[in-house]
């Protein structure tokens, strides 16, 4: 029988403050529920992009003529992924998903012009990418990983998330995630880096053992589990035997645990 080993992943950068965070139970629950909702929204975008990408990849003719893609929420709360041609002036395929289903509820391969929402998102994406090379944002892409962009309307502006991706098996790519706020033209207004670097959680061991728990720590400057943590785990955990992970909050002096099957988030002293 292969041994089952609980493996704890800790990556702690230099501590900049020993200040603790004090919140009432109600305030903490409201904060965590808000983060969970954002994480689930990010997941719905990325899940749609993943499954739509697989459908395009399985169509050789379509794959050869596809450039970039755009994923967004429609007026009926479905998530649509639309693929542009290489000239980025036409939509050549589109897939709509509902309630995080793996199969689209609607798909079309009819060429058409971009609508206003798609044009705006395309232009923001094009404007954001050159700005990311500015060293002040410290955007890096470790070998074997990629960065996927999620653009979400935010009041009069847009949230632009960057979350890591990998084709490697047996790894959940936590960390190396960013949030930018941009205006309608794609000019960056503010930025945030959730983790100091990539934190790959390996889900199997060289001796054949199985990892049963993944944990990393957050400093006081990032006291909560992040929406990007939740999104990344929901994407990759179904490919492993893991059902939950936890974050050690040095500010709260507790662990924050998330279970993707229950979609539950809780604060515990020991995960």
Tokens representing residue 60 in the block:
């050789």
Decide if pLDDT at 210 tops 80.
no
Residue 219's pLDDT is 78
> pLDDT over 70 for what percent of the chain?
91
- Are residues 223 and 21 in contact, defined by beta-carbon separation less than 8 angstroms? yes
Decide if pLDDT at 12 tops 80.
no
Beta strands, E only, the chain: 4-5, 66-73, 79-85, 91-97, 106-108, 146-154, 157-165, 171-175, 178-182, 188-193, 198-202, 210-211, 214-218, 244-249, 254-259, 264-268
Q: What is the pLDDT of residues 84-112, one digit of tens each?
A: 999 999 999 999 999 999 999 999 999 99
Q: What is the pLDDT of residues 32-78, one digit of tens each?
A: 999 999 999 999 999 999 999 999 999 999 999 999 999 999 999 99
Q: How sure is the predictor about 15, in pLDDT bands with cuts at 50, 70 and 90?
A: very low
Mean pLDDT of 217-224: 86
Q: How sure is the predictor about 208, in pLDDT bands with cuts at 50, 70 and 90?
A: low
Beta strands, E only, 8-119: 66-73, 79-85, 91-97, 106-108
- Are residues 179 and 161 in contact, defined by beta-carbon separation less than 8 angstroms? yes
Helix 227-236 to helix 25-57 angle (10° resolution) is: 40
Decide if pLDDT at 19 tops 90.
no
Chain-wide mean pLDDT for the chain? 90
Q: What is the pLDDT of residues 139-189, one digit of tens each?
A: 999 999 999 999 999 999 999 999 999 999 899 999 999 999 999 999 999
> Terminal CA-to-CA distance of the chain, rounded, Å?
25
Decide if pLDDT at 10 tops 60.
no
Residue 213's pLDDT is 83
């Amino acid at each position: 029988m292969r041994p089952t080993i609980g493996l704890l992943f800790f990556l702690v950068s230099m501590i900049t403050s020993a200040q603790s965070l004090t919140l009432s139970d109600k305030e903490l629950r409201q904060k965590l529920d808000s983060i969970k909702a954002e994480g689930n929204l990010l997941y719905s975008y990325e899940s749609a992009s993943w499954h739509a990408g697989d459908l395009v990849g399985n169509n050789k003719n379509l794959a050869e003529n596809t450039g970039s893609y755009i994923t967004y929420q429609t007026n009926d709360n479905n998530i649509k992924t639309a693929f542009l041609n290489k000239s980025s002036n036409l939509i050549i395929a589109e897939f709509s998903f509902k309630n995080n289903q793996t199969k689209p509820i609607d798909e079309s391969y009819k060429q058409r012009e971009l609508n206003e929402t798609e044009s705006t998102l395309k232009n923001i994406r094009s404007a954001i990418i050159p700005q990311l090379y500015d060293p002040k944002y410290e955007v890096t892409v470790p070998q074997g990983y990629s960065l996927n962009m999620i653009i979400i309307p935010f009041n009069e502006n847009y949230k632009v998330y960057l979350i890591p991706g990998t084709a490697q098996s047996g790894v959940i790519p936590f960390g190396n995630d960013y949030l930018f706020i941009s205006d309608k033209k794609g000019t960056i207004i503010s930025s945030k880096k959730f983790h100091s670097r990539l934190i790959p959680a390996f889900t199997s061991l060289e001796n054949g053992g199985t990892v049963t728990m993944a944990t990393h720590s957050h400093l006081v400057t990032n006291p909560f589990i992040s929406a990007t943590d939740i999104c990344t785990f929901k994407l990759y955990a179904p490919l492993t035997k893991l059902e939950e992970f936890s974050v050690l909050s040095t500010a709260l002096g507790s662990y924050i645990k998330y279970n993707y099957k229950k979609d539950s988030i809780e604060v515990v002293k020991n995960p």
